[in-house]
Amino acid sequence: MDFLQQFCQQTLNGLSLGSIYALLALGYTMVYGIVKLINFAHGDILMVGAFVSYFVLKQWGITPVTLMLSFLPAMLFCLTMGVLIEKICYKPLRNQPRINALITAIGVSFLLENGARVLPFIGPNPRVYPTLPVVNYKFFGINISQVQILVFVVAIGLMLLLNYIINFTKIGKAMQAVSFDKGAAALMGINVDRIISFTFVLGSSLGAAAGILFASAYPQIEPYMGIMPGMKAFIAAVFGGIGSIPGAVLGGFILGVAETLTKGFLSSQLADAIAFGLLILILVVKPSGLLGKPMGEKV
């Protein structure tokens, strides 16, 4: 395998990992765009989604069709959960200082993780997520597996769908309006509460989908599985410019590729350090992130 082939292979690996980060980062960025809250519980939604599809697949058995169908219950469950979390935990704090909601989000995250640990049918021990048999395809010496194709296709498909909802539907335009100026949007007759709930619906269902893709690619699920991807996706969102939707996607892909290329060509021991160092550097140069708008403090 020559250098070019290896480079392409590593980039491919990185894009596959990055598409999961991107999907998850969308949830962080959308919620931040609308309510200016960093929803730390979002990574744990990934875990919940993975567990729901795990139980569904245990019932139905694993075939490509059931795997695709399992997105439905997982996304439904997680969007319900997302909306409930917003209504119960975040809404009462909406007019309080922002730090209160932030700390609540961290609390919800702990609640989900440790709640899952004590639930008897989940428990603290890792489980094996059902996988499809290994199938590999080769193009010009570059190997792509069935799982990687699945991750790509589903992730890109969902991103296109999200793009459509946000830019071409009435509720999507209302979301943009709320994100731009909540007060003015309310004055124009937009039901802000409904838009916020809808944002959580979108974010949580994408999180659930990311959970299934993550579990399919790395078939081991446990209550803490959402922490690392959640962290990385949050960083991807900040890096791309938090609040910006194309920014989150770009950030996710760049982070995935940067991480994989560092492991592949520099040092696997310093991978995270180098990848995050790079991000810090970019944020020093461009503090609002790649595609973020510079925000002047309103007086």
Partner 1 sequence: MKKKMIALGALVVVLVVVILLVTGRGGSDTLKIGTIMSTSGPVSHFGSQCRDAMLMAVDEFNARGGVLGKQVELIVEDDEKNPEKTMNALVKLVTKDKVKAVLGALTSDCTLAITQEAQRRGVLLFTPTSTNDMVTDAGDLIFRSCFKDSFQGQVMAQFAVENLKATKAAVLYDMNNDYSTGLTKSFEETFAALGGTVVASESYAGGDKDFNAQITKIKAAAPDVLFLPDYYNTVSLIINQVRNQGLDAVLLGPDGWDELVGQAGEEAVGGYFCNHYSPDAEDDDVQEFVRKYRERYGITPNALAALGYDAAYILLEAIERAGTDDPQALKAALMETNKKYVTGHITFDENHNPVKSTTILKVIQGADGKLATEYVGMVDPE
Contact flags string 222-241 toward partner 1, x per CB under 8 A? x--x--x-------------
**134 is a site residue for partner 1 (CB under 8 A):** yes
Out of 97, 183, 187, 268, point to the residue binding partner 1 (CB under 8 A): 268
- Whole-number minimum distance, CB 126 to partner 1, in Å? 5
Tell me how far, at minimum, the Cβ of 10 lies from partner 1, in Å: 6
The reply to whether 260 sits near partner 1 by the rule CB under 8 A is: yes
The residue range among 33-41, 63-71, 117-125, 285-293 that interacts with partner 1, by the rule CB under 8 A, is 117-125
**CB contact set of 279 (below 8 Å; sequence gap of 6+):** 235, 239, 255, 258
Applying CB under 8 A, which of residues 148, 204, 205, 244 lies at the interface with partner 1? 148
Q: How far is CA 55 from the centre of its chain?
A: 21
184 touches partner 1 (CB under 8 A): no
Residue whose CB is less far from partner 1, 13 or 197: 13
The rounded distance, in Å, linking the Cα atoms of 241 and 269 is 28
User: For residues 95 and 268, which CB has a smaller minimum distance to partner 1 in the complex?
Assistant: 268
The interface region with partner 1, picked from 25-33, 68-76, 237-245, 265-273 by CB under 8 A, is: 265-273
Q: How many CB atoms lie within 10 A of CB 167?
A: 11
Q: Which residue is associated with the tokens 């059931």?
A: 66
Q: Is 95 in the site for partner 1 (CB under 8 A)?
A: no
| Residue 102 near partner 1 by CB under 8 A | no
Contacts 24+ apart (CB under 8 A), 51-58: 51/116, 51/122, 51/211, 51/221, 52/77, 52/78, 52/208, 53/208, 53/211, 53/212, 53/215, 54/127, 54/129, 54/130, 54/215, 54/221, 55/121, 57/129, 57/130, 58/130
CA geometry: angle at 41 spanning 38 and 45, to 5°?
A: 125
Distance between CA atoms of residues 124 and 151, nearest Å: 27
- The distance of closest approach from Cβ of residue 147 to partner 1 in the complex, given in angstroms and rounded to an integer, is 6
Backbone dihedral angles phi then psi of residue 286, each to the nearest 5 degrees: -130, 85
Residues of the shown chain interacting with partner 1 in the complex, contacts defined by CB under 8 A: 1, 6, 9-10, 13-14, 16-17, 123-126, 128, 131, 133-134, 136, 138, 143, 145-148, 217-220, 222, 225, 228, 259-264, 268-269, 271-272
